[in-house]
Amino acid sequence: GAVVSQHPSWVICKSGTSVKIECRSLDFQATTMFWYRQFPKQSLMLMATSNEGSKATYEQGVEKDKFLINHASLTLSTLTVTSAHPEDSSFYICSARTGGHTDTQYFGPGTRLTVL
Amino acid sequence: DAKTTQPPSMDCAEGRAANLPCNHSTISGNEYVYWYRQIHSQGPQYIIHGLKNNETNEMASLIITEDRKSSTLILPHATLRDTAVYYCIVPISGSARQLTFGSGTQLTVLP
């Protein structure tokens, strides 16, 4: 199957700082990528849909000014958590959509963010 | 997404087939059924998807009933590494295939 990578795999930061997470589709081009968040013992929650070359679409309740998404190329989307606070600590996961006949989303391994 | 219903948990003996059911009675004619699994602290892994015909790949088989209101994911020879939460998802067509994750089924493969 297609491969999606994320970097970093984990990050610890101080409250008030910003953190950037990268999501790359390694062997296919993805016009659409998605960002999810998962709190302990909960299921994945979609945060936003990222389309290459256009503004991201955020789910209700997700602050677009706090979670900045950039999808500047067909293989890279970034999520920046601005002015992070302890309540932003979570597992952030991206996915990339292949499109075409076998339209499927493949997920990255996730990024564990801990805000102190 | 079409609502899906899965049992919260199942056990399976190692080496035996694991059959995971999913009900999706409100599915429409052009909506696919996707299966993913998530092993603890990892991103979800794509398993298989189908529309109306049964599908098989190197990981699993997907059996979809003729009326498409339910499906079964079959892991033919479960191993301890198959212990995970399994999600059955029916994304809404035309919505960039957004996936809505429910609670899934926690499959525990026992030695």
Contact B101 A32 (CB under 8 A): no
The answer to whether the Cβ–Cβ distance between B43 and A6 falls below 8 Å is yes
At position A9, the amino acid (one-letter code) is S
Q: Are B73 and B22 in contact (CB under 8 A)?
A: yes
Nearest chain A residue to B99 by CA distance is A46
C-alpha angle with apex B92: B89 to B93, nearest 5 degrees?
Answer: 120
Question: How does the average pLDDT of chain B come out, rounded?
Answer: 92
Q: B4 near B24, Cβ under 8 Å?
A: yes
Nearest chain A CA: its distance from B29 CA (Å): 17
- Give the CB-side neighbour count of residue B48, counting CA atoms within 13 A: 21
Spell out which residues of chain A touch residue B49, defining contact as CB-CB under 8 Å: 104
Task: Spell out which residues of chain A touch residue B31, defining contact as CB-CB under 8 Å.
Answer: none
For residue B96, what pLDDT band results from cuts at 50, 70 and 90? low
Q: How confident is the model at residue B2 (pLDDT cuts 50, 70, 90)?
A: low
Cβ–Cβ contact A103 with B under 8 A: yes
Ramachandran region, residue A79 (left: φ > 0; alpha: ψ -120 to 50; beta: rest):
beta
pLDDT mean for each 10 residues of chain A (116 residues): 93 97 94 94 93 90 94 93 96 92 90 97
Mutate which of B31, B59, B98, B106 to disrupt the A interface (most A C-beta within 10 Å)?
Answer: B98
Mapped onto helix, strand or coil, the DSSP state of residue B80 is helix
**pLDDT tens digits along B43-90:** 999 999 999 989 999 999 999 999 999 999 999 999 999 999 999 999
Of the candidates A62, A60, A72, the residue with the CA atom closest to the CA atom of residue A24: A72
Chain B residues with CB under 8 Å of A110 CB are 41-43
